[in-house]
Amino acid sequence: MKVAILGAMPEEIEPLLSALRERGVSVEAVEHANNKFYAAKLNGHDLVIAYSKIGKVNSALTATVMIEKFGARALIFTGVAGALKRGIKIGEILYATSLVQHDLDITAFGHPHGFVPGSKISVQTDARLNSIAQSVAEQLGITLKSGVIASGDQFVSGEERKSWIERMFDASAVEMEGASVAQVCDALGVPFCVLRAISDEAGHKAEFDFDEFMVKSAQTSANFVLKMIERL
């Protein structure tokens, strides 16, 4: 199977590329659409790995290229997110049960937040991939949490906005790419999952926590994804 592994930033895929090279896996870079896509083989699977750059447009573009040009038949999104619900700690991993766009707003026309005609408010992730993630967590002795992830083209740090997103969508975490990737995968019929290592906690200042914990969280996610590939 050809599997896409996608992050938003270089820091979110570099630990993955490094781990593959440490295993002696050949990694080949292919340039396309003003980006680099890395091809590798692991456990009988063809991998295509990329970082999209930040934001929903970039992530939607990159996910589409991975599926339409490179032929990915499953997609795993790995990276970091900020917690919205209390009790989710820095460094923990959360998988999305579904994803929503918190900044999508045409309520002036009588529609609910996160909805436009012809689309869904909430896009569900793939049950099989989520089950594999749960089995990997058990193998590693990690408590894997789950919940709705909200995406938007803004770095959310203010407590008022965080509280609004949590209340409106019952969201557990917030980031800037997952929901657009979900929409692409849903439209193209490709199973996907979204894994986020928590880089800052609800009730703490994201500006302070994010830089300090991003690299460590990305390494946690990368190790987790490789274990998932081994179980596919």
Catalytic residue among 103, 126, 166, 200: 200
Which of 66, 131, 121 lies closest to 95, judged by CA? 131
User: CA-to-CA distance for 194 and 184, rounded, in angstroms?
Assistant: 13
User: CA-to-CA distance for 194 and 225, rounded, in angstroms?
Assistant: 10
Determine whether 200 is an active site residue.
yes
Phi, psi torsion values for 182, nearest 5 degrees: -60, -40
Catalytic residue among 12, 177, 201, 209: 12
Residue 160: how many other CB atoms lie within 10 Å? 6
Strands 74-83 and 123-124 turn out to be unpaired
Determine whether 175 is an active site residue.
no
Which of 143, 50, 49 lies closest to 94, judged by CA? 143
User: CA-to-CA distance for 191 and 103, rounded, in angstroms?
Assistant: 24
User: CA-to-CA distance for 146 and 14, rounded, in angstroms?
Assistant: 25
User: CA-to-CA distance for 2 and 48, rounded, in angstroms?
Assistant: 7
DSSP 88: P
Q: Is 9 helix (H, G, I), strand (E, B) or coil?
A: coil
Token code pair at residue 104: 């999508």
User: CA-to-CA distance for 18 and 119, rounded, in angstroms?
Assistant: 38
Catalytic residue numbers, as ranges = 12, 200
